[in-house]
Amino acid sequence: MFLVIAAMAVLAVTSADAATKENNDWRIVIKSAATVDGPRVRLGDVADFYGNLPAETKRDLSQVELWNAPPRGRKAISVNRTKLKVILKHYLGDMISNCVLPATLTIQSGGKVMSGAELQRVVVKVLTPHARAFDGNYKFRDFKLPDHLFYSDEMDSLKVQMPRNLKPGNNSFRMEIVSVDGQVLRNLSGSVFMDLWKPVPCPVRPLNRKEILTPDLITWKNQNMAHMGDRAWDGKGGPWRVRVPIGTGQPIMKSSIEPAPVIARGDKVSLVFQSAHLRLTTPVESLEDGGVGQTITVRNLQTKRKVIAKVLNAQTVSVR
């Protein structure tokens, strides 16, 4: 029986070699991972054919048997490039020069296999709705995923779960291989980097300390939020003033600005004391600048006592 199979393999390769001798516009690309259903690994199980090859030649080459398939239910086996080249040279002869070989070929009997590219597409499909919720242009890159994923049963499926909300920058997630009855068979982890470009306020000229931010001093430029986190000012609220100098075109950070003072040092304002049953008002002098919501030191004009009070507006501070 073995002699018959060997003879058929030689005949197939000889026929294919003759058909392609004057045609070099084709390639046999060996997969990095594959599954087989029969007792022997055939070239068609582990290879894709590209280029100008007649259909009959492809069929003949696909039937070339290479080695015994691994036992079903066992761990997948791997063949490195060096060993793979020796085997293919033995069966294909000079046609080996038209073969593109991976660093390693991994084979499993039965089930199915998902390539790294297919796995990446599944992850992107899951993450895309979350990314669209951001107001900006996004891009996924630097995927850290298995090179391939074997399933023991063709009915098994993959579920991708985000452990926390998607954010600009690096994101980790969990993957589960689930059986048809919902049982989790394996857990895997992965990660992806998301770039997110959004318009960020930047000064049109250098801004000095204590300068008030006004609309005419600001332009908007796209910045990658993956490298800025939530540190950038969103352009809202105010009024604001510059806390530390900012150069032309630099993103304005939250830490670079502070509420613009509505009360200046030396201003005379009213200090309000409010409790459940009592409200008192007394005139005070501000000893420092302060914006709405900030706390400043004021001095009671009658008792000369200093008090820490919260700025309510340009005329009023309060203490509880």
Tens of pLDDT, residues 209-257:
989 999 999 999 999 999 988 899 999 987 899 999 999 999 999 999 9
Give the model confidence (pLDDT) of 167-220 as tens digits: 999 999 999 999 999 999 999 999 999 999 999 999 999 999 989 999 999 999
Q: State the pLDDT at residue 3.
A: 35
Residue 254 tokens, joined: 């939250």
* Residue 34 or residue 16, greater confidence: 34
What Cα–Cα distance (Å) separates residue 293 from each residue in 75, 182, 239, 253? 65, 54, 12, 20
pTM of the predicted structure, to 2 decimals: 0.71
Assign 110 a pLDDT band (cuts: 50, 70, 90).
very high
Give the pLDDT confidence score for residue 260 in this predicted structure: 87
Q: How confident is the model at residue 6 (pLDDT cuts 50, 70, 90)?
A: very low
Amino acid at 30: I
- 162: confidence class by pLDDT, cuts 50, 70, 90: confident
Residue 276 has pLDDT above 60, yes or no: yes
Q: Residues 292-308: pLDDT tens digits?
A: 888 999 999 999 999 99
Torsion of CA 237, 242, 243, 246, to 10 degrees: 120
CA distance 34 to 105: 8
Q: What is the pLDDT of residue 11?
A: 44
Percent of the chain with pLDDT over 70: 93
Q: Which residue has the tokens 């009855």?
A: 181
Please state, rounded to an integer, the average pLDDT across all residues of the chain: 89
Do the strands 295-300 and 279-286 form a parallel or antiparallel pair, or are they unpaired?
antiparallel
